[in-house]
C-alpha cells in the first residue's frame, strides 16, 4: 500500500546529477586563461567576490557565472583582456550549458520506487532554461508530482511551496547536498532534512557546523539511503 502521507523534496544539482564538478573543471581552464595577469588564488578570490556582488542582479547558474567571469577578467587584466580571450570565456559558459546530464550513483535506482510510495517534489534554484534542460535530459521528470525552479531557497520560499501543495512541514522531508539551501531552511519550518554531501561545495553554500535537530536532521552517505529513512519517517 503506497505511503503518500510523507512528501519528499529533492534538490537537483549535486543531489540528483553532477554539477559542481563541471564548474570546477571550468575554473581550472579560467585560471590558466588569466595566469599571465594574476596567480590562481587571486583569480579565484576575485571571481568569487564578483559572483557574490552580482547574485542579486544575475541570480544563480551558468549565465550569471559567465558574466561574472568576464567582468573579473576585465578587472584583473586592467582592461587588457583580448576579444579572443573574452570569446574563450563565453565558450566555457556555452560548454557548460551543453554539458551532458550525469546522474549521481543510485539516483536512477531509488527515484522510481520512492515515487510509487510518496509524493515527490523537485525544488531547485538556478537559471530556468538550464534547469529545465537538465531535468528533461535526466529522464527523471516523470517521477515528480511538482517541479519548483526558484530564485532562492530560504524559509519563505519553502513555506510558500509547501502551502501551495498542501504539505505540512511536519510531513515533509527535504533531500539535498547544501546545508544552507536544502537543510537549514526546512528545519527552520519544522520539517525534516536529509543531508547527502557532495564531493565539492561551492563557497556560497558552505556552512561551518552541522545543525542540531534530533529526529529531524539526518546525514546520509548516499541517496540510496533515502528510501529507508523515508519509510521510518512515514510510519512515525
Q: In the chain, where are the structural domains located?
A: 7-17+102-234, 20-97
Quote the CATH superfamily of domain 20-97.
Putative phosphatase; domain 2 (1.10.150.240)
pTM assigned to the model: 0.93
pLDDT tens profile 161-212: 999 999 999 999 999 999 999 999 999 999 999 999 999 999 999 999 999 9
Where does the pLDDT of residue 5 fall: very low under 50, low under 70, confident under 90, or very high at 90 and above?
A: confident
Where does the pLDDT of residue 4 fall: very low under 50, low under 70, confident under 90, or very high at 90 and above?
A: low
User: Quick one: pLDDT at residue 1?
Assistant: 32
pLDDT tens profile 44-69: 999 999 999 999 999 999 999 999 99
Q: What is the DSSP letter of 179?
A: I
Q: Which CATH class is domain 7-17+102-234?
A: alpha beta
Q: How far is CA 206 from CA 62, 79, 192, in A?
A: 19, 32, 20
Contact 174, 192 (CB under 8 A): yes
125-130 mean pLDDT: 94
For residue 2, pLDDT over 50 is answered with no
Between strands 146-150 and 172-176, the pairing is unpaired
Amino acid at each position: 500500500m503506497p505511503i503518500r502521507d510523507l512528501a519528499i523534496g529533492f534538490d537537483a544539482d549535486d543531489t540528483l546529477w553532477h554539477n559542481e564538478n563541471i564548474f570546477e573543471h571550468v575554473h581550472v581552464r579560467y585560471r590558466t586563461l588569466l595566469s599571465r595577469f594574476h596567480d590562481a588564488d587571486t583569480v579565484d578570490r576575485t571571481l568569487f567576490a564578483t559572483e557574490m556582488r552580482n547574485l542579486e542582479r544575475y541570480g544563480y547558474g551558468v549565465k550569471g557565472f559567465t558574466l561574472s567571469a568576464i567582468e573579473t577578467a576585465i578587472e584583473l587584466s586592467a582592461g587588457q583582456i583580448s576579444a579572443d580571450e573574452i570569446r574563450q570565456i563565453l565558450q566555457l559558459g556555452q560548454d557548460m550549458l551543453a554539458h551532458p546530464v550525469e546522474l549521481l550513483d543510485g539516483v536512477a535506482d531509488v527515484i522510481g520506487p520512492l515515487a510509487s510510495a510518496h509524493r515527490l517534489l523537485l525544488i531547485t534554484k538556478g537559471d530556468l532554461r538550464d534547469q529545465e534542460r537538465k531535468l528533461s535530459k535526466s529522464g527523471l521528470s516523470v517521477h515528480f508530482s511538482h517541479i519548483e525552479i526558484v530564485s532562492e531557497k530560504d524559509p519563505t520560499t519553502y513555506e510558500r511551496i509547501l502551502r501551495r501543495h498542501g504539505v505540512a512541514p511536519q510531513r515533509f522531508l527535504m533531500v539535498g547536498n547544501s546545508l544552507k539551501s536544502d537543510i537549514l531552511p526546512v528545519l527552520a519550518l519544522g520539517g525534516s532534512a536529509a543531508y547527502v554531501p557532495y564531493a565539492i561545495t561551492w563557497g556560497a553554500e558552505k556552512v561551518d557546523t552541522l545543525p542540531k535537530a534530533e529526529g529531524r536532521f539526518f546525514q546520509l552517505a548516499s541517496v540510496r539511503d533515502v528510501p529507508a529513512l523515508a519509510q521510518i519517517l512515514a510510519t512515525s
